[in-house]
Amino acid sequence: MSTDPITVDVTALQNALDGRWAHVRDGSRKVASDPRFAVAVGDTVEEQRAAVLERMHILAETDYARLGFPGKYGGLDDVGGAVTAFEMLALGDLSLLVKAGVQWGLFGGAILHLGTERHHEKYLPALQSLELMGCFAMTETGHGSDVANLRTTATYDADTDQFVIHTPDDQARKEYIGNAARDGHVAVVFAQLITGGESQGVHAFVVPIRDAKGKPAPGVRIEDCGLKGGLNGVDNGRLYFDEVRVPRDNLLNRYGDVAKGGAYSTPIENKTARFFTMLGTLVQGRISVAGGAGSATKVALNIAVRYGNKRSQFSAPGAEGEVPVLDYLAHQRKILPALAKTYALHFAQSELVAGLNDTTPPLDAVTTGSVPAEDPNRRELETRAAGIKAIATWHATRTIQDCREACGGAGYLAENRLPGLKADTDVFTTFEGDNTVLLQLVAKELLTGFRDHFGELDLIGTTRFVADQAVETVIEKVGGRRLLQRLADFAPGGGEDAGLLDRNWHLDMFDWREKHILETLARRLRRAADAEDPFAVFNESQDHLLLAAHAHIGSVLLHSFVDAIEACPDERTRDVLSLLCDLFALSTIENERGWFQEHGRLTASRSKAVLAEVNALCGRVRPIAAELVEAFAIPEQLIGAALLG
């Protein structure tokens, strides 16, 4: 590849980014350009909540609310489109995003995937139109990550043929529940199903929480979570149930049912496997959050790059005028590798959305209530979704912070959007799965591949099991693509900086790292399999486990990026993407150069050459940075940063 200055065809680049659901993206851009969606700042909490509700009603009149639901009930049966539209909505008001996610994603998704025909008929049309607003009441104060051990109970009472929903104590109250404090009328409540004195694990129940007048329903206590770090247009609340009775029919009974009289039946006998299957149907939420984080990151980068071009400070000796701050290497270093990673995440996200779409049966089929056969692609997708959600949301938090700082004092004014982006996206790192817990799940899945074999073992108890299985299964599961054929030519010939831009070298480095970390982890766990204290074994390896997940997702990102370049029909755009991919790959290797040296994969001088090359790549990306953020095609009113005016 030449090192001539590179030029960008912004339209072709936008096409490459927009991909398969370009039509949905364009539709979203049109809706978002409605003046009623302009970004506002300075409203009180109550004003924000009112504005968000109004916007929800505007959305309900567009395709937005219908994309993810079956045609049979007025939907458009386009799962990929639904997730893409969510991603696009995240360019604007993030409270609206989260409220829409609660209503149509979590609440609607639970009804669709955990319920059966009777629930679909009764609720799906009403929830699309907002005639019925609902909550997704899973998290409890005492159990956020460990949801298998929720403590709310749903006890079947054969005498009345009802379930009794009950909060045993304050630690079991439902916590941070969106739509609960103000607008929700029903909640899908996750609770331990008890029938005939026996617990069958966590199931979901539709529970009315407000009456027609908006007062709490009898036995239901609702508290407002109050002011939050952001997302104050969402009415998060706490729910307490004092022996609230609901008809037996209110059990969302796709994966477990109770017959009149109390007999329990299920298509998945293993209790843990059943619960994880139920959770698995909700994977769309995690994928959506990852996409939303990506959009917020893009808005921040758009602001910081354009401001970096416009804002100048200090004069260079012998030159006219002052230097645009984006000309400074330190400024480029703050922003451009993050921009490259944002592209990498974008392509990985697009692949994830396509995978979700293509592994979801037509939604009309879902409504029959049958349980799909185990699909290994789907399992891999769930793992990848968990990992990308973690990496994308951390990337958002860090990048938005760096963009804020790159805009100096101006970046701290609400009128310049960045403070709101920062505050609103912060919680993404811990909701829909705490990132650390998610990465742990990724690593465990990589090691074992078969979560349902875990049986009754809890997350920590899996250690011993993992240890037995790991070494056998690890080899063929790593990377999945292109691995073996490339291990041969690991170090390109020539000097220390030869081949730094060789894509095969990048892929080798990423894949080898993933493989090596996973193999050593497996060996370590196997050695420790007979340990006295399994928790100690698990805990001593926890950083190793998380490293394995990081390395895996790094590899996933690079492969997605490479695939996107190969799939791009426009040569000039391939060059642009290739340059960004170089920056992504080398800045990642730079960050991990301590590890690569430890493992003999970078010599000291080659490691230094990587640093120098990242600097050089920043210099090459800098002249096209404005076009790179323009290609995100963010409607200008959503950017809403006065400093660009």
Residues in region 133-152 near a copy of itself by CB under 8 A: 139, 143-146, 149
Query: Does an H or E element contain 559, and which?
Result: helix 542-567
Taking residues 148 to 187 in sequence order and writing x for each that binds a copy of itself by CB under 8 A, - otherwise, the string is: -x-------------------------xx-----------
What is the nearest approach in angstroms of a copy of itself to the Cβ of residue 572? Answer: 28
Three-state SS for 48-60 is HHHHHHHHHHHHH
N-terminal to C-terminal alpha carbon distance within the chain = 38
Give the dihedral of Cα atoms 574, 575, 577, 582; nearest 10 deg.
Answer: 130
Q: Does 316 bind a copy of itself (CB under 8 A)?
A: yes
Of residues 394-413, those binding a copy of itself (CB under 8 A): 397, 401, 404-405, 408-409, 411-413
What is the nearest approach in angstroms of a copy of itself to the Cβ of residue 171? Answer: 11
Of residues 238-297, those binding a copy of itself (CB under 8 A): none
Distance, in Å, from the CA atom of 136 to the CA atom of 179, rounded to the nearest integer, reads 9
Please, which residue, 6 or 45, has the CB nearer to a copy of itself? Answer: 45
What is the nearest approach in angstroms of a copy of itself to the Cβ of residue 243? Answer: 26
Listed ranges 8-16, 60-68, 283-291, 452-460: which one lies at the site for a copy of itself (CB under 8 A):
452-460
Give the dihedral of Cα atoms 283, 284, 286, 289; nearest 10 deg.
Answer: 180
Q: Does 458 bind a copy of itself (CB under 8 A)?
A: yes
- What lies within 8 Å, CB to CB, of 491 at 6+ separation is 505
Of residues 333-352, those binding a copy of itself (CB under 8 A): 333-334
Of residues 227-246, those binding a copy of itself (CB under 8 A): 227-230
Q: Does 319 bind a copy of itself (CB under 8 A)?
A: yes
- Tokens 């990852």 locate to 290
Contact 284, 109 (CB under 8 A): yes
CA 304, distance to chain mean position in Å, is: 23
* Biggest CA-to-CA distance, the chain: 91
What is the nearest approach in angstroms of a copy of itself to the Cβ of residue 533? Answer: 8
Taking residues 556 to 585 in sequence order and writing x for each that binds a copy of itself by CB under 8 A, - otherwise, the string is: ------------------------------
The count of C-alpha atoms lying within 13 angstroms of the C-alpha of 561, restricted to the half-sphere facing its C-beta, is 28
Distance, in Å, from the CA atom of 595 to the CA atom of 15, rounded to the nearest integer, reads 37
Contact 166, 244 (CB under 8 A): yes
What is the nearest approach in angstroms of a copy of itself to the Cβ of residue 430? Answer: 5
What is the nearest approach in angstroms of a copy of itself to the Cβ of residue 387? Answer: 15
What is the nearest approach in angstroms of a copy of itself to the Cβ of residue 435? Answer: 7
For residue 90, what are its two tokens?
A: 């995240």
Q: Does 542 bind a copy of itself (CB under 8 A)?
A: yes
Of residues 601-620, those binding a copy of itself (CB under 8 A): 604-605, 607-608, 611, 615
DSSP lists the bridge partners of residue 137 as: 189
Contact residue for a copy of itself among 317, 493, 494, 569 (CB under 8 A): 317
Please, which residue, 319 or 488, has the CB nearer to a copy of itself? Answer: 319
Contact residue for a copy of itself among 129, 328, 471, 502 (CB under 8 A): 328
DSSP label at 620?
Answer: H
Q: Does 451 bind a copy of itself (CB under 8 A)?
A: no
Contact residue for a copy of itself among 324, 419, 499, 623 (CB under 8 A): 419
What is the nearest approach in angstroms of a copy of itself to the Cβ of residue 543? Answer: 6
Strands 162-166 and 244-247: antiparallel
Q: Does 200 bind a copy of itself (CB under 8 A)?
A: no
Contact residue for a copy of itself among 548, 552, 593, 633 (CB under 8 A): 593
Of residues 28-47, those binding a copy of itself (CB under 8 A): 41-42, 44-45
What is the nearest approach in angstroms of a copy of itself to the Cβ of residue 475? Answer: 23
The count of C-alpha atoms lying within 13 angstroms of the C-alpha of 511, restricted to the half-sphere facing its C-beta, is 23
How many residues bind a copy of itself (CB under 8 A)? The answer is 84
Contact residue for a copy of itself among 129, 309, 430, 504 (CB under 8 A): 430
What is the nearest approach in angstroms of a copy of itself to the Cβ of residue 145? Answer: 5
Contact 233, 96 (CB under 8 A): yes
- What lies within 8 Å, CB to CB, of 637 at 6+ separation is 32, 33, 35, 37, 38, 39
Distance, in Å, from the CA atom of 439 to the CA atom of 550, rounded to the nearest integer, reads 7
Backbone angles phi, psi at 264, to 5 degrees: -95, 140
Please, which residue, 47 or 61, has the CB nearer to a copy of itself? Answer: 47
Q: Does 529 bind a copy of itself (CB under 8 A)?
A: no
Distance, in Å, from the CA atom of 230 to the CA atom of 364, rounded to the nearest integer, reads 37
